[in-house]
Every structure is written in structure tokens, then in C-alpha cells.
Amino acid sequence: MPNDIAGVTGSILFGTREQVGVGRGLAEFRAGRPIVVKSRSELLLCLPVEGLDKDRLAAFRALCAPIAPRLVLTSLRARSLGIDADEPVALELMSDVDAGTILTLVADATSDHVFVPEPAGPAAMAAIELIKLAQVLPTVLVAETTAAIVNAYSPSIITVEAGAVARFREKATQSLAIAGEAYVPLSSGVRTRFVVFRDAFGEDPVAVIVGTPDLSKPVPVRIHSACLTGDVFGSRRCDCGDQLKLALARLQEAGGGIILYLAQEGRGVGLANKMRTYKLQDAGLDTVDANTTLGFDDDERDYGVAVRMLQMLGCARIVLLTNNPAKLDGLAKAGIEITGRMPIETPVNSDNRRYLTAKASRAGHQLRHVIASLTPGDDQQEARLVP
């Protein structure tokens, strides 16, 4: 087969070279294996800190030798350790720094270890972005390498282009296609149609169409981030499950609507990291500081996929069921006409009161019922709330 035809055929079957590289890089990071990240000026060997132990650290040091590995942290994690940083930083690791010390540096609320930070280069910054997309701890061990050394590795190590990481979300969104759909009657009596989408990287967002919404008019829409603990098991630590039930009832009352159910557990940090934030919250942090202490933004979600799903469903004007102004802004900027907002106010209990208070006071969620539920004994919390 001529090379040009082979190239076209390969692109159709596997996607572009950069898409394949990013997809494989994500899989490697999720599995805890090293990859190489390449920028114009750097070639870095990168290993996730997730799951690090003494044997994995020793193996990585041997792989990097004679170069000493560095630890790359997000700016938010660096600031939580008292390092003034606006961008990711790299910390040099002496030979006596063990796996336990590294894990303390990346996941504990505090650390008494002192390191001199250096700016992280473009390849290291791309590695941080990729590892956040993989939803594991947003920290990587890195070491400079060369093409000759990379080519000598056996088994071979996946190479990811730094620029391709920056284009990942857009490429994934544009590759979205409908994979399957069927009518699904719910135990609550609501009759729905589940439309399952799939992108080129294997994600499966779902549109739950309630009733028969009139697409010629503004359609009630709920964008719901998956929450295993709340949606499935009824956790009292959040309001997610209650919001989902209320949204279904509201859409049925309205005669129809759409719920977009997205794989954005823990505001986009993933289930394991959500459990880590819970542990930090149990130690005294609120939901915002718990995320940033681990090195994530307060909210890692991107609503481009929601916009694309609505467009593919033929839904251009919506009434959004939300308390979160960021969702309104994100959809409006992407070209979705929002004609109104419907609040989703769910019960406040002793286990989620602090969580909801932080959402209202620090993330700007419009939760006036939370403010109203505060008792005179909640003076400290009430003073922090934004009216």
C-alpha cells in the first residue's frame, strides 16, 4: 500500500499521531507507568507519584541515572506548602529523599520538608496537565533524557507531544458520537430515553431525556456531574443525589427536559482524589481548600462536552437547573442561549451543612436556603457567606 494511502487509512483507524499519543499517555499514567513528554526544548521522562513506593522510586532513579529526578508540583500545591508560585514548580530530590517523604509532600495537609523550587518547563507543565486529566494525584517525577536513550528503552516508552496535551479536550469533544440509545423507565415512574455518547478516548457521557421536550422552545436542562457516593449510595456528605432526584421530578413536571450525566466525579478530580479530599475535610479543611491542597483547582470541570452534546441533540436554547454561576457562564460563552435559571435547593443536614456553606461562601453557588438554615450559633460560618 502506498505510504500516502497508508497514512490516510491509519488516521481513520487510529486517529492522528498526537491523539494516539495522548490517549496512550493517559492510559500509562493511570496504570502508574512512565511516559516521555516532548516539547520543543525538552524531553522528559515522567512517572506519576500515584502509587509510589520504595521499589518504584528506586526503579525510576535507576531508569533516569545519572540524572537525579525532580518532583513537579502544581502552583496550588506549592502554595499550600508555603512556596510562592503562580505556575508549576520543580523540586530537586536528593538521594536520601524516600517515597514516604515524597507522598507527604504531595498529599498531606502540611509538610516540614524544605526544598528550593525551580520553574517547571513546558514539558513538565504538560505532564501536570496530562496527569490531572488522568485524575490521579497531580504530581509527577521527571528527569531530562535524550532521544537516543528513549529509543533504547525496552519495552518502549510512550512519547506524548506537549502541544497535543493542550489540545486534548477540544479533540475529545469534537470526536463525540452517539454510541447507543434506548428507553429506560425509572422506579420513580419517570419515563426516560438514555442517549450514550462516546469520544475517541473512550469516555461515555450520557444524555437522559425525560419525557418529550419541545426543542423549538427553551428546554429545561440539568448538567449533573457523576457522584457515586451521592447518586448511588445516598451519601449525606453532599447534595448530589438529592439534586439528581429533584431534577428528574422538575423535568417531569415541566413536561420534559434533559439531564446531561458527565463523568466528572469530585468536580473533575476523580473518585480516589475525592476520597482524599474527604480525609482532608475530616481533618478540618473545607471542600475548596481540600481540592487546592492536593494541587487541583477548586473546580476542574470543563463544560465543552456538555455544549457539544446539546448541539448534537438539537438543543440550542435552555433553562438551566443549577445553583452554580460557573455553569451558566461556561455554556453561554460556548454559544448556548440560556433563557433562564431554575434553582435546585435540596435539604440541608448535619453532615452536608459545612460543605454547602463553603459552596455558597467560597464558590459563589446561589444557595440562599443554606444561609437561611444557619442558626444564631453559626456566627462564624454566617459571617463568611456572600449574600
- What domain range includes position 374? 347-387
Neighbouring C-beta atoms of residue 110, cutoff 10 Å: 10
| Same domain, yes or no: 310 and 355 | no
| Same domain, yes or no: 202 and 331 | yes
| Same domain, yes or no: 326 and 337 | yes
Give the tens place of pLDDT for each residue, 8-58: 444 444 457 777 889 999 999 999 999 999 999 899 999 999 999 999 999
Evaluate whether residue 188 is within a structural domain.
yes
| Same domain, yes or no: 237 and 374 | no
| Same domain, yes or no: 17 and 149 | yes
| Same domain, yes or no: 188 and 65 | no
- Tell me the C-alpha distance between 246 and 187, whole Å: 14
| Same domain, yes or no: 180 and 157 | no
- Tell me the C-alpha distance between 118 and 107, whole Å: 20
Evaluate whether residue 171 is within a structural domain.
no
Q: What is the CATH number of the domain that holds 26?
A: 3.90.870.10
Evaluate whether residue 226 is within a structural domain.
yes
Give the tens place of pLDDT for each residue, 55-71: 999 999 999 989 999 99
Point out the domain boundary residue: 166, 200, 227: 166
- Nearest partner of 22 among 120, 133, 150, 123, judged by Cα: 133
| Same domain, yes or no: 250 and 362 | no
| Residue tagged 457521557 (cell numbers) | 205
Left if phi > 0, otherwise alpha if psi is -120 to 50, otherwise beta: which for 267? left
As given in the structure block, the three cell numbers for residue 38 are: 516532548
Evaluate whether residue 272 is within a structural domain.
no
Q: What is the CATH number of the domain that holds 257?
A: 3.40.50.10990
Cα dihedral sign, 354-319-223-18? negative
- pTM (predicted TM-score): 0.88
| Same domain, yes or no: 74 and 136 | yes
| Same domain, yes or no: 249 and 373 | no
- Tell me the C-alpha distance between 29 and 98, whole Å: 21
As given in the structure block, the three cell numbers for residue 255 are: 413536561
pLDDT (average), residues 202-209: 94
Give the tens place of pLDDT for each residue, 239-274: 999 999 999 999 999 999 999 999 999 999 999 999
Evaluate whether residue 204 is within a structural domain.
yes
Neighbouring C-beta atoms of residue 104, cutoff 10 Å: 15
Point out the domain boundary residue: 110, 140, 166: 166
| Same domain, yes or no: 69 and 96 | yes
Q: How many domains does one find in the chain?
A: 3
Evaluate whether residue 24 is within a structural domain.
yes
Residues with catalytic roles: 299, 301
- Nearest partner of 120 among 94, 86, 167, judged by Cα: 86
| Same domain, yes or no: 363 and 305 | no
Give the model's pLDDT for residue 297: 94
Half-sphere exposure of 100 (CA within 13 A, CB side): 2
DSSP 3-state of 52: coil
Point out the domain boundary residue: 166, 199, 214: 166
The answer to whether 89 touches 117, Cβ cutoff 8 Å, is yes
pLDDT band at 228 (very low <50, low <70, confident <90, very high): very high
